[in-house]
A and B are shown apart, each in its own frame.
Chain A
Amino acid sequence: MSLDISFIGILIGSIMASSVPLILAASGELITERSGVLNLGVEGMMIIGAISGFALMVITDNLFIAIVGSMLSGVIISLIFGFLTQSLLTNHVATGLALTIFGIGLSAMLGKNFVGIPGKEFPILFSSLKESIPFFGPILFGHSIVLYFAFALPFLTNYFLKKTKLGLVVRAVGDSPVSASNQGINVILVRYCCILYGGAMCGLAGAYLSLIYTPQWIENMTAGRGWIALALVVFATWSPIKVLIGALIFGGITILQLHMQAIGFRIPVQFLSALPYLMTIIVLVVISRDSRKIKLNTPTSLGRIFYKEK
């Protein structure tokens, strides 16, 4: 296999495609965590998004409804988490785990009749440009609209958090809920909104998998991507732009591993597949040992229960 320039272009294009679900889910979770809520249910919300998107596509034959529906289903399922942690003050870690277990089970239950149905082709944009421009064509063009949205999302998230008043409110709620509350901010309401937004993005990430990336429904098809997205948020020290970089690295490892298998690289497949997980651990160690670095962006009240005496 020759490593010519156009092949590298295609390679980069496929790395971008494989990083999309990670970018979407991690950007959503980032907002949730910035408001001080740790939702470990990313995997569960993604898989629910994947099945509802696919099921809606089969039933309505309309991709727009499927995409919007998958986001709505993410919102609905994250509402369970929101109600428990915000209104009933339950432990974030345990509730998130329950959400993941519940989501995987429920998706298999709902998806029973959708196994083996072929997906539909998702429209791609600028497909003519993809072929005609060498190298840059496959990188910049010929992707689905969800991919373009995903790549814009970290920048939008960054702008939202740093430049808008609402972003400031979210950060205040995450860093110091008591002072925010004293300033008249409804902490619980802000956190509810951030949880539901995270749910919507995870739902979309799931739908990307079942409608665009591998257009079909397979039980447990998110295969741990939700957990990687969670790790990515820490990896990025809660900074949206670094989420994008991290997601590309992880996407790159996934794709490289496929290509190395194809060219008969003499490392067992399983070792390459383990790389993203090992990388996450190494990065966690590197960023965590410097407590100043990790504290810079870490939402101070992350995972803590906020209760206001009425």
Chain B
Amino acid sequence: MIKIEKRNDVPMALYFFTPFIAIILTILGGGIIFYILGFNPIEALKFYFITPISNLYGFSELLLKATPLCLIAIGLSFCFKSNNWNIGAEGQLTFGAIVGGGVALLFYNQEGFYILPLVIVAGAIGGMIFALIPAILKTYFNTNEILVSLMLVYVSKLLLDYLVVGPWSNPEGFNFPETRQFSDSSRMPLLFEGLRIHAGIFLALAAVMLSWFILYKTYLGFQIKVSGLSLKTAKYAGFKGKTMILVVFMISGACAGLAGVGEITGPIGQLHRMISPDYGFTAIIVAFLGRLNPFGIIFASLVVALTYLGAETAQIFLQIPKYTGQVFQGMILFFLLASDYLLFFKVKILNLKKNELRH
């Protein structure tokens, strides 16, 4: 007989262990789906999870994709920890890239050490401003931040589309929907010759360290965590709820903006329509898989980045559509949420004995 009991406290070891259960279940689930679709599951999974990182180039690509995911997820962890549902990071990334890219385009024919820092700061500010819209509407008009942040994703993408087709399109670009190439001074320095991994990874690592410090060593971090656990307690303690909402959205938007700038000044080098394969949405999964913990997020961003890479490899070798990456991403989150059940409930398997039956 199975008995289910509610736990009084969540065991911490299990809290950080269940993400691994989720990953294993996702791999098994993926194998089953590949089998149903008529592929050899072992071979398909090998193309998905091993081939992409079996050489140095692949490993650099993994870090390249993990960088924006990690940055955005770090920012989102501030929002999610305080119960603010910012799901529009994709829009904040796009708007950050627009503002940063705009600055880079101002200097398209100039060189100078000061250009890249300007572009990066502009991108962060852009993301921050864009994230302030849902935050201000939430604090002053009681508007649902989920819907507003999400609607703004579409608005920002359309704005980008308008800019690269219209006023910012490359005058010598034969009407392709893209801007001029940025000058070398607006590009992130590459770390190794021949690999695409760039200095943006240090931004992500800095964000990890900084967020750890803020969340665990400052009063602000304490306020954020308390508000997430219980709004009533936070109010009773006299925390300024409105300011906190604005702050967590600004942090989150700045991180997403940085991720956007990292993409356009890193591997892309100009603005065009496709600057992000939905990193802003996928980072939500990264944040949860990393348990909203800065170091957990590093690990989670690598795992989720692998689903992007694996999807590309599987498309090349097995002609499976690239979108399968999203199947894996969705499954990871499903299994993670499902395994959370074990955190809150104890599942006991009891041997039925006569005296127990009498009770």
Contact B329 A112 (CB under 8 A): no
- With contact pairs A91-B337, A227-B150, A284-B148 given, residues A109 and B6 touching in the complex (Cβ less than 8 Å): no
- CB-contacts of A66-102 with B (<8 A): 80, 84, 88-91, 93-95, 97-102
Compute how far the CA of A107 lies from the CA of B137 in the bound complex, rounded to whole angstroms. Answer: 35
Classify chain A's interface size.
35 or more
- CB-contacts of A281-297 with B (<8 A): 281, 284-285, 288-289, 291, 294
Contact A98 B162 (CB under 8 A): no
User: A112's contact among B150, B161, B321, by CB below 8 Å, is which?
Assistant: B321
Contact B158 A102 (CB under 8 A): no
Closest to A235 in B: B147
Q: Does residue A158 face the partner (Cβ distance < 8 Å to B)?
A: no
Q: Does residue A65 face the partner (Cβ distance < 8 Å to B)?
A: no
Q: Does residue A189 face the partner (Cβ distance < 8 Å to B)?
A: no
A-chain residues with CB within 8 Å of residue B147 when the two chains form the complex: 230-231, 234, 280-281, 284
B-chain residues with CB within 8 Å of residue A102 when the two chains form the complex: 326-327, 329-331, 333-334
Contact B159 A97 (CB under 8 A): no
Compute how far the CA of A105 lies from the CA of B141 in the bound complex, rounded to whole angstroms. Answer: 35
User: A281's contact among B37, B152, B281, B328, by CB below 8 Å, is which?
Assistant: B152
Q: How far is the CB of B30 from chain A (nearest CB, A)?
A: 11
B-chain residues with CB within 8 Å of residue A285 when the two chains form the complex: 137, 141, 143
Q: Does residue A278 face the partner (Cβ distance < 8 Å to B)?
A: yes
Interface residue stretch chosen among B63-71, B236-244, B338-346: B338-346
Compute how far the CA of A46 lies from the CA of B275 in the bound complex, rounded to whole angstroms. Answer: 26
How would residues 305 to 328 of chain B score, 1 for a CB under 8 Å from any chain A CB and 0 otherwise? 000000000000001111111111
Contact A89 B341 (CB under 8 A): yes
Contact B151 A278 (CB under 8 A): yes
A-chain residues with CB within 8 Å of residue B285 when the two chains form the complex: 98, 101
Compute how far the CA of A115 lies from the CA of B285 in the bound complex, rounded to whole angstroms. Answer: 29
User: A90's contact among B85, B155, B165, B338, by CB below 8 Å, is which?
Assistant: B338
Q: Does residue B146 face the partner (Cβ distance < 8 Å to A)?
A: yes
Compute how far the CA of A100 lies from the CA of B334 in the bound complex, rounded to whole angstroms. Answer: 11
Contact B326 A105 (CB under 8 A): yes
B-chain residues with CB within 8 Å of residue A310 when the two chains form the complex: 4
Q: How far is the CB of A69 from chain B (nearest CB, A)?
A: 17
Contact A309 B6 (CB under 8 A): yes
- CB-contacts of B114-154 with A (<8 A): 137, 141-144, 146-148, 150-152, 154
User: B338's contact among A84, A230, A273, by CB below 8 Å, is which?
Assistant: A84
Compute how far the CA of A26 lies from the CA of B33 in the bound complex, rounded to whole angstroms. Answer: 30
Q: Does residue A104 face the partner (Cβ distance < 8 Å to B)?
A: yes
B-side interface mostly: helix
Contact A98 B337 (CB under 8 A): yes
- With contact pairs A108-B324, A219-B321, A281-B137 given, residues A97 and B337 touching in the complex (Cβ less than 8 Å): no
Contact B337 A94 (CB under 8 A): yes
B-chain residues with CB within 8 Å of residue A98 when the two chains form the complex: 285, 330, 333-334, 337
Closest to A107 in B: B323
Q: Does residue A122 face the partner (Cβ distance < 8 Å to B)?
A: no
List 22 A–B pairs whose Cβ atoms lie within 8 Å, in order of A's numbering.
A89-B344, A90-B338, A93-B85, A94-B333, A100-B330, A101-B282, A101-B326, A105-B329, A107-B323, A108-B326, A109-B320, A111-B321, A219-B323, A220-B323, A227-B150, A227-B151, A227-B154, A270-B159, A270-B165, A278-B151, A284-B144, A284-B147
Closest 9 CB pairs of A and B: A102-B330, A105-B326, A108-B323, A98-B333, A105-B327, A270-B162, A90-B337, A270-B158, A277-B151
Question: Interface on A for B, CB 8 Å cutoff?
Answer: 40, 44, 80, 84, 88-91, 93-95, 97-109, 111-112, 219-220, 224, 227, 230-231, 234, 268-271, 273-274, 277-278, 280-281, 284-285, 288-289, 291, 294, 309-310
Question: Interface on B for A, CB 8 Å cutoff?
Answer: 4, 6, 33, 37, 85, 87, 137, 141-144, 146-148, 150-152, 154-155, 158-159, 161-162, 165-166, 281-282, 284-285, 288, 319-331, 333-334, 337-338, 340-341, 344
Told that A93-B87, A102-B331, A284-B148 touch, could you supply 18 new A-B pairs with CB distance under 8 A? A89-B341, A94-B288, A99-B330, A101-B282, A102-B333, A108-B324, A109-B33, A109-B327, A112-B320, A227-B150, A227-B154, A270-B165, A274-B155, A274-B158, A278-B155, A280-B151, A281-B147, A284-B144
